[in-house]
Structure 1
Amino acid sequence: MKILKRILLVLAIAFILLVVVNYPKLNIIAGYSAKNTSSSVFLAERTLALTDSTDNNFGEVSFAYDEINEEGKFASSSVFGLLTRKAVHREGLGSVLITDDFDLTKKPLKPKRSFVSDTVAYPYGNGAQKDTLFTNVDYDALNKAVDGIFNDESHTRAVVVIYKDQIVAEQYKEGFTKDSRILGWSMTKSIMSTVYGILEHQGKQNVQDQAPIESWQNDDRKNITIHNLLQMNSGLEWDEDYGSISDVTKMLFLEKDMTLAQEIKPLKHETNASWNYSSGTSNLLSGILRKQFSSHQAYLDYWYTDFIDKVGMNSMVIETDMNGTYVGSSYAWGTARDWGKFGLLYLHKGNWNGEQLFAPDWVNYVTTPTPTSNGRYGAQFWLNANGRLPDVPKNMFYADGFQGQRVYILPDQDLVVVRFGLKNYDENTFLKGIITSIK
């Protein structure tokens, strides 16, 4: 009996130690699952069953047990019953992970929205387009290229191909339609960058200015410019590892104010000579934007009034952190068609239906390769300048998100291609097939 008791004691101690050591990781896993579940169910209007079987069914996240509360509009996730995280949905703001001290009775400010006509044809409205057949498009070859990535391996959910402002191919996985909101993940960085371009065009911002961060003014970080941050070339320390407890996972799933995660980091490398991909930098940039406005309401409104709704991307919602700042690194939701409008805005060099939202030179700016990025990265956009995709023009640039979310802009071909899914895929073959289908 004594031996059995000792064995049980050892096992109990081992279990406690295991929990203590892994508690931070369990916290992040439950946080990811709760946040994703709340957004998927209440913002994207998917079922809990679909969310659990697809979006949350990978790696250690699959260990989380998810529940939703329809009346309270929140999701709860636990891992082995050891801890529970909660995310709550707010109309107009999306979902946010909350802590126990979060005041659910306080009504948050939300952005004011305007909507384009459902009778005006896409892309300038949300209405149906006139049937248009381009004689130089091989539609059989085009559809074959699109069909090629709708398979169980790539888990593609949506593809929209836009040629000369016309949708020439469009396909959705079962359960998804043209009205389905889908998370862009890091494509949100390109949205956030565009806000800077619009402010710059309006004469309200100069990206060459030093970053207005008070805590940096007494050390070498004071020399970092907004331009350095947009190019992710600040030299600041940052660990962008999603498979571990890292800077980025702690920021997204533990922090109330995501703008601070990068701000507190020291310089690790020389500024403008050390490209390092950092979601913390993008959220710091969102925080800098917030300080440019006289009120929180003005900050919330601007992204929509001067950009998102002006382009008619009416399905799009940018979620905030607990502090009310847009999560500029990761949390923009929208339909594939609305993400296509975003691509068209860049294809038309900032001109939207006759109104110049940002200067044509802004396109040159975001597509100028960041020093030491080997031609892969510009100002919150990814590039093909180094020919990574060998059968795709080198001046193609794109918004890029986790699991292969993409908005490709191909200026020479007058093309925008949108793809959403749950896994990466053969981009070169996919785009080559689309390009060669147009003579």
Structure 2
Amino acid sequence: MRRRILSSFVLPLTLFVGAAQGQEDETTINSYAAGYVAGYTCSAIFNANKSEDAIREHELSGIYPLVADKVAAMKADIDRENKLVRVAYDDGQRERISVWRARLGCVDLPVGATLADADKVSRPFAEAALAKDNGEPWQIRQPVNEVTGNLDLDDVIIKGFSKHYGSGARTTAILIATSDKIIAEHYLDGFSPETSQRTWSVAKSIAASVVGAAVLHRDVKVNAPATIANWQSSLDPRRHITLEHLLHMASGLDSNAAGNRTDRVYMGGGRVVDTAVTTALEVQPGSRWKYANNDTMLAMRAVRESFGNSEDFLKFPYEALLDKIGMQHTFLETDWNDDFIMSSQVWTTARDLARLGVLHLQNGIWQGERLLPENWLAYISKPAPAQPNEGAPGYGAQWWLYNERFPELPNDTIAARGNRGQYLVIIPSKDLVVVRRGYDMAGQQGFSEHDFVRDVLAALEK
């Protein structure tokens, strides 16, 4: 029953593909496909140092069916000197361009942009070689890809790299840690602690952490109206949407049949302010839970509008959070208007995700310094007033809740969950973080994080 319910998260994608194909002409879909190839190739090469063959095998296969066939037929033109990727489409008449920037990863230029426009993107960070991951803050680290000595746990990890937890599962990394010890750390051949991978919607929970840092450092208030400039007319009911509504996926805004399909921004080179900001209300804010990428992007936009300039905003997540906890192999990608697309487009490593988990285990304190508000873990773990349907995990503030709905896991289990099998699971009562990364196949049964974490807990308790 649980598997049938969880699989329902995939159904809107299938339903929306038909609708999208009816609404968008061939050139638009070709542009999406070219943008997909350009963006993923750019990020995988310059963020993760992956080979073109590996990119084809992982990033560009088993993907969103709307563009899968077209993506397979397209070729990327990679300019390693200038760190950009070009992909032609419509028989070479048009092209899409993705440009890499230090710390910020790749930005997809809009349709119609030319190579001359690549130099116009903002570059607030100086380029510097990424250092090898030093393994901090963990005092004890199980060697990478070695057995733990716990036969039951080793068996669970072996199953985690097989099809045991899902017929469409393709696992790339598993990391199990406490606040001071890496219990187990395993990678697929070709991956390492420095190999970043797109988080998909795990980024939403990273975004919530950035919001938390803004609450602590910039007097941002979650229960105050989100200060979106476009909504400030006295007749605009959207001015009553609070930052908390956005964090709870309860904005009430129209986000199409499936709120997780934001192709114009994700593949089309669109801006957040031209898509998420312009949608109208469907229902009263706070009255409905609806999973919507736009709500996360709007939460980050609301934080941005508390800054005087975009450069300070772009640096803030790194200076206030990521750099403090050693997330040095994490790239927060933006649109070309410098709005973070933190509903999905973050590239990071298993260790960096585990570091974020440890920060939450420590209730927002890192090496004696408070980085998140004192009650932030309790806040993100509190069920929102409007909830997903019964049987699915509950929802807090951009984090999924495995509370009484899933009795096989401790009641305080929370998780960041992303497409293609990205998971960061935090269990404060067990002082435990579990990370799983993958490239699960679209349309097939994905990796069951619930069953895997259940089995990890059972093995650790023996």
Instruction: Report TM bin, short chain.
Output: 0.7 to 0.9
Which residue of the other structure, out of 39, 49, 56, is the alignment partner of 2:53? 49
Residue 342 of structure 1 is matched in structure 2 by 356
Matches within 5 A, 1:391-410: 391-410=408-427
Contact 2:196 2:348 in 1 (8 A): yes
Residue 5 of structure 1 is matched in structure 2 by none
Distance 1:34 1:390, change over 3 A: farther
Residue 267 of structure 1 is matched in structure 2 by 281
Matched, 1:302 2:316: yes
Residue 187 of structure 2 is matched in structure 1 by 172
Residue 415 of structure 1 is matched in structure 2 by 432
Residue 427 of structure 1 is matched in structure 2 by 449
1:355 shift after superposition: 1.2
Secondary structure in structure 1 of the residue aligned to 2:175: strand
% of aligned pairs identical?
A: 27
1:21 shift after superposition: 3.3
Which residue of the other structure, out of 187, 209, 225, is the alignment partner of 1:210? 225
User: Alpha carbon RMSD of aligned pairs, Å?
Assistant: 2.8
Aligned equivalents of 1:117, 1:104: Cα separation in 2: 27
Q: Which amino acid aligns with 1:284?
A: L
- Deviation by residue 1:3-23 (Cα, 9 ceiling, x = unmatched): xxxxxxxxxxxxxxx998322
Aligned equivalents of 1:131, 1:394: Cα separation in 2: 28
Residue 71 of structure 1 is matched in structure 2 by 81
Matched, 1:155 2:155: no
- Deviation by residue 1:44-101 (Cα, 9 ceiling, x = unmatched): 1101111112210234324321222223322233457365322122233211111333
Aligned equivalents of 1:121, 1:74: Cα separation in 2: 31
Secondary structure in structure 2 of the residue aligned to 1:433: helix
Aligned equivalents of 1:267, 1:107: Cα separation in 2: 33
Q: Which amino acid aligns with 2:349?
A: T
Distance 1:195 1:115, change over 3 A: farther
Contact 1:381 1:397 in 2 (8 A): yes
Distance 1:118 1:276, change over 3 A: same
Q: Which amino acid aligns with 1:224?
A: I
Residue 34 of structure 1 is matched in structure 2 by 38
Contact 1:188 1:331 in 2 (8 A): yes
Q: Which has the higher mean CA deviation after the structures are superposed, 36-45 or 69-78?
A: 69-78
Residue 332 of structure 1 is matched in structure 2 by 346
Residue 227 of structure 1 is matched in structure 2 by 244
1:371 shift after superposition: 2.3
Gapped regions of structure 1 (runs ≥ 5): 1-17
Distance 1:121 1:177, change over 3 A: closer
Residue 90 of structure 1 is matched in structure 2 by 101
1:107 shift after superposition: 6.0
Matched, 1:146 2:157: yes
Matches within 5 A, 1:309-320: 309-320=323-334
Aligned equivalents of 2:23, 2:289: Cα separation in 1: 37
Matched, 1:185 2:200: yes
Distance 1:240 1:179, change over 3 A: farther
Contact 1:183 1:332 in 2 (8 A): yes
Distance 1:415 1:293, change over 3 A: same
Aligned equivalents of 1:412, 1:220: Cα separation in 2: 41
Distance 1:24 1:351, change over 3 A: same
Aligned equivalents of 1:118, 1:37: Cα separation in 2: 22
Distance 1:31 1:216, change over 3 A: same
Residue 384 of structure 1 is matched in structure 2 by 402
Q: Which amino acid aligns with 1:36?
A: Y
Contact 1:63 1:79 in 2 (8 A): no
Q: TM-score, normalised by structure 1?
A: 0.86
Secondary structure in structure 2 of the residue aligned to 1:364: helix
Contact 1:239 1:248 in 2 (8 A): no
Structure of larger gyration radius:
1
Secondary structure in structure 2 of the residue aligned to 1:409: strand
1:376 shift after superposition: 1.7
Matched, 1:61 2:68: yes
Secondary structure in structure 2 of the residue aligned to 1:109: coil
Contact 1:240 1:279 in 2 (8 A): no
Secondary structure in structure 2 of the residue aligned to 1:310: helix
Gapped regions of structure 2 (runs ≥ 5): 1-21, 441-445
Q: Which amino acid aligns with 1:96?
A: V
Distance 1:356 1:240, change over 3 A: farther
Secondary structure in structure 2 of the residue aligned to 1:406: strand
Q: TM-score, normalised by structure 2?
A: 0.82
Residue 101 of structure 1 is matched in structure 2 by 113
1:31 shift after superposition: 1.4
Residue 8 of structure 1 is matched in structure 2 by none
Q: Which has the higher mean CA deviation after the structures are superposed, 415-424 or 217-226?
A: 217-226
Which residue of the other structure, out of 251, 256, 271, is the alignment partner of 1:239? 256
- Deviation by residue 1:153-177 (Cα, 9 ceiling, x = unmatched): 4110001000342011111011101
Residue 10 of structure 2 is matched in structure 1 by none
Residue 353 of structure 1 is matched in structure 2 by 367
Contact 1:187 1:400 in 2 (8 A): yes
1:288 shift after superposition: 1.7
Aligned equivalents of 2:130, 2:80: Cα separation in 1: 30
Distance 1:159 1:31, change over 3 A: same
1:347 shift after superposition: 1.1
Q: Which has the higher mean CA deviation after the structures are superposed, 32-41 or 74-83?
A: 74-83
Q: Which amino acid aligns with 1:352?
A: W
1:115 shift after superposition: 11
Aligned equivalents of 1:421, 1:104: Cα separation in 2: 31
Q: Which runs of 4+ in 1 moved over 4 A?
A: 112-121
Aligned equivalents of 2:419, 2:131: Cα separation in 1: 32
Aligned equivalents of 2:141, 2:270: Cα separation in 1: 47
